[in-house]
Amino acid sequence: MPSMTAVILHTPGPPDSLKLTHHPIPIPKPGELRIRIKAFGLNRCDLLTRQGHHTITYPRIPGIEAVGIVDAAPGLEHIFPQDSIVATAMGGMGTVFDGGYAEYTCVPAGQTQLLRPKTTLPWEILGAIPVMVSTAWGALIRSLGLKARDRLLIRGGTTAVGLAAAAIAKVHGAYVASTTRKKERETMLLENGADRVWIDDGAVAEQIGAAGSGGSYDKVLELVGAATLADSLRCVKKGGIVSLVGMLSENGDLETVDLMEMIPSEIKLTVYRGTSEDFMSTPLDAVLRLLEQGSLKLKIGRVLRMEQIVEAHRSVEREPPLPPSDIHLLLRVLAIEDFCRYKYIIYTEGVTYSGRLPFHQACRSIILKPPMAWMLYTTHLVRPFFSSTLLQTEPRLEPPHQSDRIKRAWPTVIFDWFDIHLGATISVSVCGRRKNHAIERYVLVAGTTAEPGKPGMGMVWQHFLDNQIDYCVLRPNWFMENLAEAVPCAVIRNQSKIYTACGDGKIPFISAIDIAAVAFRARQIINHTIVIAACILGPELLTYDQIAEKLTVILGRRVEHVKMTGDERYEALVKAGVSGDYARFLSNLETAASTGCETGMSDSGKVTGQAARRCDQSARENKAVWE
């Protein structure tokens, strides 16, 4: 049997309990893919596993994260093509099943993110990102609800998560202050993006008060733990939030703390503990893009080889590192070619499709057949998904503006889901490069069809027309894969329930694969039939009660549709971590569906030449994520 190099833990103990040895290369089970690991980060969770604080079966390969390339994906090749760059983390890695301290690992497809196919970032950067960034992102966005102009205090600013959180918060437009116990680290924190550094003597609140800005922070990210929690609660203004994320200090234990006595009445305390669902909803591609552009900077500590794993664990135990030490198997820099060299450019936001068949993955599988020069841009917005302007000006189901140029073949296609701010940026970029590669057609997926010149996306369309670029708006509303996303997927798996405000309204669910097929067909169609058919709908009308019945049969257990009001649905989405604007958009969409407005049927088969996929087929393909 072929073997690989791996680090094995046979029993809990000190760093030298980790043994470098040969181990059989794992074989992926159904629903899994095998990753050839290029790099992995060393996390404090790995130390706890080695020390015996986690219940695991021995022997075990530790490691809760890894990045690399797809080596095998039986039955999933259309989603994860060979040699795709991927990242995976948490979800039982290194505890329930073998983790990332090896040359190969097998992980569930549902906890694996496809990364940008071409990136300028080296493996030692990629390897440090999954857990560090997903924890920082989740704590800031899901737990604290960080917004632009918020004043944020990071307690434990020199930790890996603290450094990442500061950089991400600055991108969001927040004012950032960080703490450190060592004066010599002040410059490093300022260079990393902090606007202010407090030297942590255990009484930061007193320092803030003495400086004349007592309680001046809206939110505090507490990474140290119980030892500094009481002081952090005094650093926020009334109505402020403190999120407890880390337990770096050995001097504090929450079990010995009287929270009723500690927490002021007008201050909120929350906690954040990342899960695999949180990892899958973290916009890693957006972070990679910001890192490549230089607008986001993350510091990486020591870079070691896997045979130095014992030394790495000893180093982390001696002193909390600035960022995580990154252990890598092979350093390789992937060069990214100039934008203008690509004929086909796919641009999709993709945040809401984080399940096994997101739209951008469907695009990827289609565009590889036949091979062609291409670039896949998948971005997750650092701002709320939909600005209030866009929501107020979006006329649903309205055919897009027509132009005499629409009958020409369009050589370049861009797919997108974006808000007005990103739309304006991309349109300017595209139009600025038009002379270089003759872009003639822009295909927008899941966007607004506002009239050119009107507020919102209408300004972008007018910009396109002024620069002689045709555009087409495709309007899929109800993806079959929505139920395989992180939040609804977890609810179905753990509660066997589907929560919506759709009532008994019938919905024409459409597969992401069919949407991608129609969109790619749009790049070469000669007449404007596809442009008139702005909405891409599914082949059958189903209520969520019927969807629940289908899942009951497929999963072999009862799945129930729970009907909610629009306001109840909004509150539930916000509680689950969805941004307020987007939660309102979704609840309004579902409430409208309950009135019976979503009863159109698709003619996508006329465009693609084949029947659209039905919900049964999609549900069976996604069965593993709900079990």
Count CA atoms within 13 Å of residue 300 on its CB side.
Answer: 20
Of residues 411 and 594, which shows the higher confidence score?
A: 594
Per-residue pLDDT at 531 exceeds 90: no
- Contact in structure between 342 and 373 (CB atoms under 8 Å): yes
What topology is assigned to 131-276 in CATH?
Rossmann fold (3.40.50)
First to last CA, the chain: 31
What's the rounded Cα separation, in Å, for the pair 601 and 271? 45
Q: What is the mean pLDDT of residues 581-602?
A: 77
Q: Which helix (H) or strand (E) holds 152?
A: strand 151-155
Confidence (pLDDT) at 557: 93
Average pLDDT, the chain: 72
Confidence (pLDDT) at 199: 93
Give the per-residue SS3 of 208-227: HHHCCCCCCEEEEEECCCHH
Tokens, residue 588: 């309004």
DSSP state of 143: I
Q: Which residue has the tokens 């800005």?
A: 213
What's the rounded Cα separation, in Å, for the pair 556 and 536? 31
What topology is assigned to 3-114+301-328 in CATH?
Quinone Oxidoreductase; Chain A, domain 1 (3.90.180)
Q: Which helix (H) or strand (E) holds 207?
A: helix 204-210
Q: What is the mean pLDDT of residues 546-569?
A: 92
Per-residue pLDDT at 363 exceeds 80: no
Task: Classify 99 as helix, strand or coil.
Answer: coil
DSSP state of 78: T
Q: Lowest mean pLDDT: which of 92-106, 144-158, 340-354, 493-507?
A: 340-354
Largest CA distance in the chain: 73
Give the Cα-Cα-Cα angle 92, 66, 627 (nearest 5 degrees).
Answer: 35
User: Nearest-CA neighbor of 242 among 164, 302, 153?
Assistant: 153
24-38, 360-374, 566-580: which has the highest mean pLDDT? 24-38
Q: How many CB atoms lie within 10 A of CB 543?
A: 18
DSSP state of 201: S
Q: Lowest mean pLDDT: which of 46-60, 244-258, 446-460, 590-604?
A: 244-258
Confidence (pLDDT) at 328: 35
Q: How many CB atoms lie within 10 A of CB 270?
A: 15
Give the Cα-Cα-Cα angle 113, 117, 121 (nearest 5 degrees).
Answer: 90
Per-residue pLDDT at 62 exceeds 80: yes
Q: Which residue has the tokens 């003619």?
A: 603
How confident is the model over 88-122, as pLDDT tens digits? 999 899 999 999 999 999 999 889 998 877 788 88
Task: Classify 359 as helix, strand or coil.
Answer: helix
Asked if the domains at 131-276 and 339-626 fall in one CATH topology, the answer is: yes
Task: Classify 87 as helix, strand or coil.
Answer: strand
Confidence (pLDDT) at 455: 60
How confident is the model over 17-34, as pLDDT tens digits? 999 999 999 999 988 999
Model confidence at 227, pLDDT cuts 50, 70, 90, reads: confident
- Please compute Rg for the chain using Cα positions: 25
Confidence (pLDDT) at 107: 95
Residues in CB range of 285: below 8 A, 6 or more apart:
113, 115, 116, 350, 378, 379, 380
Q: Lowest mean pLDDT: which of 54-63, 209-218, 252-261, 351-360?
A: 351-360
Would you mind telling me the total number of residues written for the chain in this entry? 627
- Contact in structure between 280 and 484 (CB atoms under 8 Å): no
Tokens, residue 94: 């290194």
Model confidence at 161, pLDDT cuts 50, 70, 90, reads: confident
Tokens, residue 417: 């889901």
Confidence (pLDDT) at 469: 63
Confidence (pLDDT) at 410: 29
- Contact in structure between 338 and 128 (CB atoms under 8 Å): no
DSSP letter string, 481-512? GGGGSHHHHHHHHHH-EEEES-TT--B--B-H
Confidence (pLDDT) at 43: 84
How confident is the model over 303-324, as pLDDT tens digits? 888 988 998 888 877 654 433 4
Confidence (pLDDT) at 333: 18
Pairing between β-strand 268-271 and β-strand 236-244 as defined by DSSP bridges? parallel
What architecture does CATH give domain 339-626?
3-Layer(aba) Sandwich (3.40)
User: Nearest-CA neighbor of 85 among 126, 55, 57?
Assistant: 126
Model confidence at 85, pLDDT cuts 50, 70, 90, reads: very high
How confident is the model over 430-454, as pLDDT tens digits? 444 443 444 455 666 655 556 677 6
Model confidence at 254, pLDDT cuts 50, 70, 90, reads: low
Q: Which residues pair with 347 in a beta bridge?
A: 377
How confident is the model over 465-512, as pLDDT tens digits? 776 666 666 656 677 777 876 668 778 888 899 999 999 998 888 777
- Model pTM? 0.53
Task: State whether the Cα torsion 246-249-253-258 is positive or negative.
Answer: negative
* Domain range list for the chain: 3-114+301-328, 131-276, 339-626
Residues in CB range of 495: below 8 A, 6 or more apart:
none
Model confidence at 327, pLDDT cuts 50, 70, 90, reads: very low
Confidence (pLDDT) at 609: 57
Per-residue pLDDT at 160 exceeds 60: yes
Tokens, residue 186: 């002040």
Give the per-residue SS3 of 306-347: HHHHHHHHHHHHHCCCCCCCEEECCCCECCCCCHHHCCEEEE
Q: Which helix (H) or strand (E) holds 106?
A: strand 104-108
How confident is the model over 379-388, as pLDDT tens digits? 222 222 222 2
User: Nearest-CA neighbor of 339 among 429, 423, 444?
Assistant: 429
